[in-house]
Amino acid sequence: MIKIGIIGGTGYTAGELIRLLIYHPKAKIISVVSKSNPESFIHDVHQDLLGEINMKFSKSLDQNIDLVFLCSGHGQSRKELQNIPKHSKVIDLSQDFRNENQSYFQDRKFIYGLPELHKNIIKESNNIANPGCFATAIILAILPLAKIKLLKKDIHISSITGSTGTGKQIIDTNNFSWRNNNMSTYNIFTHQHLNEIEQTICKLQNNFSPYIYFVPYRGNFSRGIISTVYTTLSSDISLEKKKNIYYDFYKNHPFVEISETNIDLKQVINTNKCFLHLIERQNKFIVISIIDNLIKGASGQAIQNMNLIFNLVETYGLNLKSIRF
């Protein structure tokens, strides 16, 4: 069994990690560290886990662990790494190591953990920077095009995320009375996940120069991301051929599905899947992408990376049914 430690155990992503790992056939949770709730029962904070786990949060990390999930939030990971045993593998769910020029900490080199792009590299790695939720949904929408260098024009993106995307911290835009029956944009054209998106495109298509116009929205629902991505592609390539490019690219990736019909968020909530729907309108190629921001956009993808690191079946612990109704 893989002995697991989690640092930053009270947030949404940690709660999802615990929920999924409890039933993972090859993993055992050894310690869950919380500075805000030490010695409290985990199910007192993550109340959906009542009857599922009878463990308490700990003040410090058990040193006899194989893998640590870092869930402490952005800007905290380098500090936490100082207390992690050198023999332990690390999957960081913050943005601290996603950019290549910031991917080192002492002797650790963090690999950008998008399995659909770096599966073979992840299998040989000990330290993973888990991708951001917006970045995951958007990169998966355009990855097959970048692979064969088809991205020549500006890319336009609109994405709506649920309230869990900003974590548990109490801020005005997370309050129910503000969020209910309400929507707003934020960080237009400047969102932090743009760096990940551009970095990934340039890795596959190093002559990429068009601009990416990304408009994120706060949605009035709790979880999920729906993204609409469009650009202009060569008119010589039919829609059917474009679809075949996607089917071929993702044929060996178990969590990405191409839908011939329109898609909606509830199809992927509570799953590690990304659904893509491809259409053309007025000479624009359009990809609609949906994920659960807490699973494929965070904790589920982290477990997918764990499975790859330890040479397990990629889908272990992640055969989840969507909450459709």
Cβ neighbors of 158 (< 8 A, separation 6 or more) are: 215, 217, 227, 228
Contact between 214 and 189 (Cβ < 8 Å): yes
Mean of the pLDDT values across residues 298-302? 98
Catalytic residues: 133
Q: What is the DSSP string of 57-126?
A: PBSS--SS-SEEEE-S-TT-HHHHHTTS-TTSEEEE-SSTT-SGGG-EETTEEPEE--HHHHHHHHHT-S
How far apart, in Å, are the Cα atoms of 135 and each of 67, 69, 82, 151, 196?
Answer: 24, 19, 28, 17, 6
Mean of the pLDDT values across residues 251-264? 98
Instruction: Specify the range with the lowest mean pLDDT, choosing from 24-38, 128-142, 173-187, 240-254.
Output: 173-187
pLDDT of 178: 75
Using pLDDT thresholds of 50, 70 and 90, give the confidence band for residue 169: low
Contact between 168 and 11 (Cβ < 8 Å): yes
pLDDT at residue 304 is higher than 80:
yes
Question: pLDDT tens, 268-283?
Answer: 999 999 999 999 999 9
Q: What is the DSSP string of 269-293?
A: TTSS-EEEEEEEETTEEEEEEEE-T
State the amino acid at position 214 in one-letter form. Answer: F
Q: How many residues does the chain have?
A: 325
pLDDT of 174: 67
pLDDT of 185: 92
Mean of the pLDDT values across residues 238-267? 97
Could you give the domains of the chain? 2-131+296-309 (3.40.50.720), 133-293 (3.30.360.10)
**Which residue is listed with tokens 């055969």?**
319
CA atoms of 237 and 259, how far apart (whole Å): 20
**Which residue is listed with tokens 């994920």?**
291
pLDDT at residue 166 is higher than 80:
no
Question: pLDDT tens, 93-140?
Answer: 999 999 999 999 999 999 999 999 999 999 999 999 999 999 999 999
Of 264, 184, 192, 193, nearest in space to 217 by CA: 184
pLDDT of 299: 98
pLDDT at residue 167 is higher than 70:
no
Using pLDDT thresholds of 50, 70 and 90, give the confidence band for residue 180: confident
Percent above pLDDT 70 for the chain: 96
CA atoms of 149 and 143, how far apart (whole Å): 10
Mean of the pLDDT values across residues 250-254? 97
Cβ neighbors of 23 (< 8 A, separation 6 or more) are: 317
Structure tokens at 236: 């010589």
Of 296, 210, 278, nearest in space to 241 by CA: 278
State the amino acid at position 146 in one-letter form. Answer: A
Say whether pTM exceeds 0.85. Answer: yes
* Helices (H) then strands (E): counts for the chain: 9, 15
Contact between 98 and 132 (Cβ < 8 Å): yes
Mean of the pLDDT values across residues 27-56? 93
